[in-house]
Structure 1
């Protein structure tokens, strides 16, 4: 992905532009409710928000503040020097002025320009997104289904569950064959059931990835809704090892890197 400089990758990386893309391909019904898209973090102060919501920057990954009454009562907002992280706090702990400071720090950061060279993030307008928190019927954060799509076909599904609790991660070969693969987190203690809507989830992911050679499509199932959380060309920055290592080759066998990417300079970006 270092040499793939199509502008489509900027759209995938931009959490605001991604929403427009999803709407155009599969419809707005497959997106979380948007409460606000802010150019100026100070505007957070006057927003009328529900008790549960999510705040994150549009131009990066791994920085999120989740606000809900289900959070640990002792959890607090992070200090500015530690705020590029996942945080879950209760509404009474989500001081708006502190959220403004955190958001201001976020938009001052140029993300993805380190050793992994996630170049697309550097071209994304830096704004703040406030949207619906996605939860299961018990009020817990919804499980995250990450579908790996190669050349328009979904081959693997990663399931991350229990964020902010006992986190787990499991991998499945399409359609639902569990793999003895670790990406760093423990496997779920209980067998995960195949989602009833898995076929529709795969269809949505494949439609969203139809114009590219690789895309990971992150989906959530909330009640009867299938919602798109993120589109990424750089899962874990492209630097997350699998154990055992043989799964690196198993995933890679489905991806044929287009010759055009191999023949271009790192800094060259397509006009359209």
Structure 2
């Protein structure tokens, strides 16, 4: 294990101990300050960050957990009449790494875990696949408890599994359109690009006008081209967001079609450190949460 991996494990143990002693809410506030430099007010939530975390810690998260599960969410998307935007499956789900049917997979595929972030294994050429590396990484993924690592309790309800989708492009080839929906309505779009080198972020309104609100080293100095299917993306997001007070709908545009990525309910641990204070304050005023308003 690398030194950074060892430090992460130590920090997670500290978070677990703190949760047991101080409680989840206080530990979440401490973690937000330590890791992201942002104070959360969970007694009187005002900002978008405050309210996202408050929803996570104080409301029924059963549907959010189902839709966080990257495999189970597929049935939710189908129920909304949007099955055509799902990236085709090519294998799984599998509960153990040793169950992966590598022989049955196509030459190119993307292997994913259902229960966390940054758990994607891209295979561009199966003849060059390092099987031992695949087994090592996927075995480690299945052991990871994202709910404890990031204090996001709804992940406790997500089954740990693996599955495979068609390959639609490498991390450096695909732009991720993250449409943030507030009160069931698409509100603004965060784009993620250049993942293989140094992740870059851009921020737009629904008419694709650049807007202020980003901070930190990931903020891009170059503008992204307006996606040809922007209007369709917005309508898809509105449909998928209709059951939620807040959700981020992740979509891709590939060969003149829209493809589904995932639904996210607590992006960046709910803290949203890449947004400025004024931006999360502004959208916190817009977000109405049952039990708070």
TM-score by length of 2: 0.74
Secondary structure (helix, strand or coil) at the match of 1:55 reads strand
Q: Which of 58, 61, 69 pairs up with 1:14?
A: 69
User: When you count helix as a share of all residues, which structure comes out higher?
Assistant: 2
Provide the residue aligned with 1:135 in structure 2: 169
Alpha-carbon RMSD: 2.3
How much does 1:140 deviate? 4.8
Q: Is the 8 A contact 2:179 2:249 kept in 1?
A: yes
Task: Determine the C-alpha separation between the residues in 2 that align with 1:220 and 1:187.
Answer: 20
Provide the residue aligned with 1:82 in structure 2: none
- 1:163 and 2:219 equivalent? no
Task: Determine the C-alpha separation between the residues in 2 that align with 1:183 and 1:105.
Answer: 32
Provide the residue aligned with 2:130 in structure 1: 95
Task: Determine the C-alpha separation between the residues in 2 that align with 1:236 and 1:110.
Answer: 16
Provide the residue aligned with 2:282 in structure 1: 250
Task: Determine the C-alpha separation between the residues in 1 that align with 2:77 and 2:228.
Answer: 22
Provide the residue aligned with 2:245 in structure 1: 213
Provide the residue aligned with 2:257 in structure 1: 225
Q: Which of 122, 141, 144 pairs up with 1:66?
A: 122
Task: Determine the C-alpha separation between the residues in 1 that align with 2:215 and 2:79.
Answer: 33
Superimposed CA distance per residue, residues 25-60 of structure 1 (whole angstroms, 9 cap, x where no aligned partner):
132210111111212211225433333321221111
User: When you count strand as a share of all residues, which structure comes out higher?
Assistant: 1
How much does 1:189 deviate? 4.5
Q: Which of 123, 144, 161 pairs up with 2:176?
A: 144
Aligned residues: 237
How much does 1:165 deviate? 2.5
Task: Determine the C-alpha separation between the residues in 2 that align with 1:244 and 1:40.
Answer: 41
Superimposed CA distance per residue, residues 187-243 of structure 1 (whole angstroms, 9 cap, x where no aligned partner):
444322211211110000110010111100000001122111110101111123245
Q: Check 1:12–1:243 CA distance in 2 against 1; reply closer, same or farther (3 A cut).
A: closer
Q: Which of 77, 81, 84 pairs up with 1:26?
A: 81
Q: Is the 8 A contact 2:90 2:106 kept in 1?
A: no
Provide the residue aligned with 1:120 in structure 2: 154
Structure 2 unaligned blocks of 5 or more: 1-55
Task: Determine the C-alpha separation between the residues in 1 that align with 2:278 and 2:272.
Answer: 14
Provide the residue aligned with 1:270 in structure 2: none
Q: Which of 110, 120, 123 pairs up with 2:145?
A: 110
Secondary structure (helix, strand or coil) at the match of 1:148 reads strand
Secondary structure (helix, strand or coil) at the match of 1:50 reads coil
Secondary structure (helix, strand or coil) at the match of 1:126 reads coil
How much does 1:101 deviate? 2.5
How much does 1:4 deviate? 2.0
Q: Is the 8 A contact 2:228 2:256 kept in 1?
A: no
Superimposed CA distance per residue, residues 57-84 of structure 1 (whole angstroms, 9 cap, x where no aligned partner):
1111222222226xxxxxxxxxxxxxxx
Q: Which of 88, 111, 121 pairs up with 1:55?
A: 111
Structure 1 unaligned blocks of 5 or more: 70-90, 264-272
Superimposed CA distance per residue, residues 78-102 of structure 1 (whole angstroms, 9 cap, x where no aligned partner):
xxxxxxxxxxxxx565312331232
Task: Determine the C-alpha separation between the residues in 2 that align with 1:217 and 1:196.
Answer: 17
